[in-house]
Copies of this chain bind each other. A is one copy, B any other.
Amino acid sequence: MRLAVIPGDGIGPEVVAEGLKVLGEVAPDVAATHYDLGAARWQRTGELLPDSVLDELRGHDAILLGAVGDPGVPSGILERGLLLKLRFELDHHVNLRPAKLYDGVTGPLAAPGEVDMVCVREGTEGPYVGNGGVLRRDTPHELATEVSLNTAFGVERVVRYAFEKAVTRPRKHLTLVHKTNVLTHAGSLWSRTVEEVSTEFPEISVAYQHVDAASMFFVTDPGRYDVIVTDNLFGDIISDIAAAVTGGIGLAASGNIDASGTNPSMFEPVHGSAPDIAGQGKADPTATVLSVGLLLDHLGRTEQARKVNAAVAFDLSTRDAAQPVRTAEVGDRLAALA
């Protein structure tokens, strides 16, 4: 496995080191190449994602990213120039965000019940395309626009991915989340696409919910969801609510996937670079290890993925919540269990 590793900034390198430790345990054939990208490189050189680096990344089977960001970098720079650039250039049209409440994890809900859902968020369209502009800036007549672009091509492929994911799961249920009663143009395309693709998957039961209602039910009754498919912006929001109710972003893994296999897919913990705790060995690497699990699963290494996930599940169920997390210790435990 040719793996590109982008440790990034802050706690990124610390959690990635543990992810690689666990990966090395289950997959001895990993050839990892590290790439220096993120806030530090930008601050040093002004570079975000040089074309030559992007070309090199394309030559890998997958990418593992830690986290990028630093308070010294203005908001939007790394997002547009690196993170979203990677998603768009590598056609990561599926943003996969599982949210499972593991045994031993105490979330914020008094009675969460069993929660085990997967958000399948579109990754290359919607309001994220950067289309829009500003007219008469800094005048009382300023107008700022943001255009959400949604294509049959783009919606269909992510909807299809979601149905295929639902088929592999015991509950075989899929919920489309959108705001079709207000965003009628895009909403109609999404609804019609789900309806059409659903005819190919008669075993999947399909539901629809407006994003505001879903956001509420994610809190009051998250157990009702299995697979969710939604647009880029709604997915950004609801997958974070899903993470919140299943123990927080410290445990949330994600995949940015080109389902066609043309480009390498990228896996990363959802949390940021957390500069306030960087270098102290306090960061929880569990989300990174779960991201390694998604990576293995994506590459068809089902048995290796199963080992990684089982190690995490066992470790979480036996952790002493009173003990502060030590990054390397968690990694050691998970590597030993995997």
Contact = CB atoms under 8 A, between A and B. Distances in A.
Given A84-B182, A212-B240, A151 B143 contact: yes
A146 B244 contact: no
A142 B146 contact: no
B134 A148 contact: no
Give the contact-size bracket for chain A.
35 or more
B149 A148 contact: no
B183 A127 contact: yes
A6 to B, nearest CB: 19
A266 B235 CA distance: 31
A142 B184 CA distance: 14
A61 interface: no
A145 B148 contact: yes
Interface of A: 75-76, 79-80, 84, 106, 108-111, 127-128, 130, 132-134, 136, 138-153, 156, 179-189, 192, 211-213, 215-216, 219-220, 233, 236-241, 243-245, 248-249
A292 B119 CA distance: 39
B108 A179 contact: no
Contact of A244 (B75, B84, B215, B248): B215
Given A110-B108, A148-B145, A212-B237, A182 B134 contact: no
B142 A189 contact: yes
A104 B236 CA distance: 34
Nearest to A219: B244
Contacts of A143: 149-152
Nearest to A272: B213
A180 B75 contact: yes
Going nearest first, the 8 A-B pairs with the smallest beta carbon separation are A142-B152, A144-B189, A216-B244, A146-B148, A110-B110, A212-B240, A219-B244, A79-B181
15 contacts: A75-B181, A108-B220, A127-B148, A127-B183, A132-B147, A134-B185, A140-B153, A142-B189, A143-B149, A144-B150, A145-B186, A179-B233, A216-B248, A220-B244, A237-B237
A132 B245 contact: no
Nearest to A189: B144
Given A76-B180, A211-B236, A216-B243, 14 more contacts: A84-B182, A108-B220, A127-B127, A127-B182, A127-B183, A130-B184, A132-B147, A134-B185, A140-B153, A144-B151, A144-B186, A147-B147, A212-B239, A220-B244
Nearest to A134: B185
Contacts of A249: 216
A184 B80 contact: yes
A108 to B, nearest CB: 5
Contacts of A188: 134, 144
A67 to B, nearest CB: 14
